[in-house]
Amino acid sequence: MAKLGEYEFRANCAFCHGLGARGGGRGPDLTRTPKKHGDSDQEMFTTISNGVPGTAMPPNGATQQGVGMTEAEIWQVVTYIRSVEHKPVEMAGNSLRGRQLFFGSAACSTCHMFKGQGGRLGPDLTAAGTARSLEYLTDSIRNPSRRLAQGLGEAMKEFTVEYETVNVVTTDGTKLQGTLLNEDSFTIQFLDTRELVHSFDKTALKSWEKSRLSLMPGYDEKTLPEKDLQDILTFMVNRLQAPGGAQ
Amino acid sequence: MRAFARAFGFVLLAFASVASAQVTSDRLLNASKEPQNWLTYNGDYAGRRFSSLEQINAGNVPQLIPKWAYQTMAGGKFETTPLVVDGILYGTGQDDRAFALDAHTGRPIWQYQRNLPDDIRPCCGRVNRGFAMLGDRLFMGTLDAHVVALDAKTGNVLWDTPAIEYTKGYSFTLAPLVIKNLVLVGVSGGEYGIRGFIDAYDPATGERKWRFYTIPAPGEPGSSSWEGDSWKIGGSPAWITGTYDPETNTTFWTTGNPSPSNRGIGRSGDNLYSNSLLALDPDTGKLKWYFQFTRHDEHDYDATQIPVMVNDGDRKVILQANRNGFFYLIDRTTGKLLHADSYAKVSWSKEKDASGAPVPAKDASPTPEGNRVCPGAAGATNWMSPTYDPQTKLFYVTAREQCDVFSTAPQPYNAGHAYYGSAYFPNEDAAPFYGALRALDPDTGKIKWEWKHPSPTWSGVLSTAGGLVFTGDAEGNFIALDAATGKALWHFQCGASVYSAPMTYAINGKQYVAVAAGSTLFTFGLP
């Protein structure tokens, strides 16, 4: 049953959720528990059947890529996901201290929001602790340029925008730097380091360039000792309320 | 009485403003001589998608403005290339909708919505690419595997013929092709383990006149290219419209992947006539010759790209930029390969045989844990129509640069259910992915210029005597480029990705360009 589910998973789910359900660019790591959109078998079945409105998760059979699964096949996939799940992670760090670091000296909140508080230059991290593997999160902190986070996905586009770095020079010589919000052949939209939204006609700029070198500094062990990292990860996984924030 | 007179007067006016839209075989043969109309899916039998209209040209195209828009109000991919016949535009939409519009104003004349069963098997969207027309009849293939004739003046169903059981995974998505007094269609369903075919129907009655199976039965030539009973469920659909050479009375069709698409175990052999170019006698459906592009395919490299006919002096050839990343030049009299050159990143083939045909590399097969191969599963191009411009003598194709990780797994065949034996997904190492419109020199296969898209697009291409090439992108832009240089001269933001090929027509001496994007058909013209 789990083996059949694995084949169905590969054909229908792995495009976003990766081989082994370990998560891809677009889809969360499904070996994690509990699941964000309901953790019972029936809830998982419903999530797969109906998708998750407002997210990239489509209803079964509506991906325009594959052909969809029968109910029996969806149950096989549920069984498969159960077979690769890890037990809920017992995080060893200190959540409270992690929260203090996130909003304090580690300065994560300068660019990242958590439950409505923080900056805007990087992705909102409210759900990241349960959607991404610890390896992925660790790598994103230690080597932020290795794998850029995905941003805006348009309904009919195959690929989402990534958090690339944008440098432009306007005709009056003003230099702006920020992260990419969106782009097409003729225009570019980005948020600059002062959190101002810009949308330019590319031909109206003196110059523009995109870079896959993330604006986020790489946090090596000197900048962020292992213990601090574990505390921040524990905070992200346990999803403590932000200080003063509404739950 | 006055009311009657007013109504009668209106009727007279209506008659006066609409020409009789009778498409004859003769008009189809000479379609390029009436460029104000667009009589077939590709605009002509040769599949060139070139128009001799030149009112909109490289000089004035920056002034192009939208003239009207028509919305199907249906979701999913809108893939139609409409026909325009004597002032009326005929198009098909998502969910097997169809419509006739005044091509000058965009106002609907009739609309058709097929009542589709709930359990149809569209692999890749509830799509339809367009009509074929003969007399005052329009022909469409449906997602429940019927062929339907509609009355061009009312949209009434004239006949409705089931071709095969849709519950086993069969459907139609392509625009049919009318040749003489026959309506030709090819079937979709390479994701389900079908046995592909091309059919011909009587336009008057809907009676099937012939069927050519794209997989030979035991005992027929080519049958030894299949292992055991794998031929019965070997796929090889024919889901893109063919072309036609009246000089030799040959119709050229292309076929898709063998099934299961990404698992060769269990179907050893070349798997004829999957991923092939077929030369058929349109009167009988008899095979004259074939050329197979990808033998024993394990990467879903359907050869369902328009086989474009080009005459270069005495040389009569077929040009095809294949999904497998090679551009092929084939003698269309003999089926002999003249040359094959890669036009995009390729890793599935590392060598060619004595005939010059690329052969699959052993280490390119999908593996249980995944094997990175280029092009990816969507191909270096796909079904999006290319164009050949006789003025620049260049072949323009929408290319996709993307590699995928192909994995494989055994999968039992279950009639009507997905039958891939595999999975694929973009490789993170391959980022960023991008698309490009590439202008190829057919003689050498070399890229003369390219227009780079931020991400891969599914838009087809149109070329015109105005020195222009039109295409669309995934970001929603409809773009006019200089055919000689690739410089963008004009663009319009349609608001959703373009999943169709543009076409052009004229009414009362004014040229228009039309393209479907999102759920909207846009038409542009000069102010």
Contact B76 A64 (CB under 8 A): yes
- Give the H/E segment covering residue A235: helix A226-238
Chain A: residue nearest B472 by CA?
Answer: A185
Phi-psi region of B51 (alpha: psi -120 to 50; beta: other; left: phi over 0): beta
Q: Chain A partners of B433 at a C-beta cutoff of 8 Å?
A: 159
Tens of pLDDT, residue by residue over A26-81, are: 788 898 877 888 889 999 999 999 988 877 788 887 765 556 788 888 999 999 99
Quick one: average pLDDT of A93-117?
Answer: 96
- For the segment A99-111, the average pLDDT, to the nearest whole number, is 97
Q: Does A45 touch chain B (CB under 8 A)?
A: no
**pLDDT at A53 (0 to 100):** 84
- In A, minimum Cα distance to B402 occurs at A159
Choose among B418, B423, B499: nearest Cβ to A14: B423
- pLDDT confidence of residue B431: 58
Q: Cβ separation of B407 and A70 shorter than 8 Å?
A: no
The amino acid present at B139, given as its one-letter code, is F
Q: Does B486 touch chain A (CB under 8 A)?
A: no
pLDDT at A14: 81
Per-residue pLDDT in tens (0 to 9) along chain B, 527 residues: 444 444 444 444 434 344 455 999 999 999 999 999 999 999 999 999 999 999 999 999 999 999 999 999 998 999 999 999 999 999 999 999 999 999 999 999 999 999 999 889 888 889 999 999 999 999 999 999 999 999 999 999 999 999 999 999 999 999 999 999 999 999 999 999 999 999 999 999 999 999 999 999 999 999 999 999 999 999 999 999 999 999 999 999 999 999 999 999 999 999 999 999 999 999 999 999 999 999 999 999 999 999 999 998 889 999 999 999 999 999 999 999 999 999 999 999 999 999 999 999 999 999 988 899 999 999 999 999 999 999 999 999 999 998 988 888 888 898 988 888 776 666 666 556 899 999 999 999 999 999 999 999 999 999 999 999 999 999 999 999 999 999 999 999 999 999 999 999 999 999 999 999 999 999 999 99
Nearest CB neighbour to B123, from listed A12, A24, A67: A67
d(Cα B424, Cα A11) in Å, to the nearest integer?
7
For residue B357, give how far its alpha carbon lies from the nearest alpha carbon of chain A (Å).
Answer: 30
Catalytic residue at B44? no
C-alpha span between B260 and A111 (Å, rounded): 47
Smallest Cα distance from A87 to chain B, Å: 24
Place of tokens 């040959």: B250
CATH class, range A2-84: mainly alpha
What number is the ipTM of this complex? 0.90
Residue with tokens 């994995």: B407
CB distance from A19 to chain B under 8 Å? yes
Q: Is A15 on the interface with B (CB under 8 A)?
A: yes
Quote the tokens at residue B280. 């058929």
Q: Is B440 exposed, middle or buried (0-12, 13-18, 19+ CB in 10 A)?
A: buried
pLDDT the model gives residue A26 = 73
Burial of B39 (0-12, 13-18, 19+ CB in 10 A): buried
**Does the distance separating the beta carbons of B425 and A14 come in below 8 Å?**
yes
Q: What is the pLDDT of residue B15?
A: 40
Cβ-Cβ contacts under 8 Å, A70 against chain B = 417
Which CATH number is A148-215's, of 2.30.30.100, 3.40.50.620, 2.40.128.630, 3.40.50.300?
Answer: 2.30.30.100
Sketch out chain B's domains with CATH numbers. Answer: 38-50+59-525 (2.140.10.10)
Query: Which residue would you say has higher pLDDT here, A157 or B38?
Result: B38
- Sorted by sequence, the CB contacts under 8 Å of residue B435 that are 6+ apart come out as B398, B399, B400, B401, B452, B453, B454, B455, B456, B457, B473, B474
**pLDDT for res A246:** 40
Nearest residue to A73 (alpha-carbon basis) of A23, A21, A17, A3: A3
Contacts of B455 in chain A (CB under 8 A): 157-159
Superfamily of domain A95-144+217-238: Cytochrome c-like domain (1.10.760.10)
Token code pair at residue A238: 């346990």
What local confidence, expressed as pLDDT, does residue B13 receive? 40
What pTM was estimated for this model as a whole?
A: 0.92
Residue with the bigger pLDDT between A19 and B187: it is B187
Structure token digits, residue B49: 């998608």
User: Does residue A91 or residue B179 have the better pLDDT?
Assistant: B179
- In chain A, where does the domain assigned CATH 2.30.30.100 lie? 148-215
pLDDT digits (tens, 9 = 90+) for A217-242: 999 999 999 999 999 999 999 876 55
State the pLDDT at residue A202.
97
CA distances from A174 to A120, A171, A204, A208 (A): 22, 7, 13, 12
Using CB atoms, which residue from A64, A67, A155 is nearest to B121? A67
| Catalytic-labelled residue, pool B144, B199, B245, B300 | B300
**Range(s) of chain A covered by CATH 1.10.760.10:** 2-84, 95-144+217-238
Select the more confidently predicted residue: A12 or B395. B395
Size of interface A-B (CB pairs under 8 A): 99
Identify the pLDDT of residue B425: 66
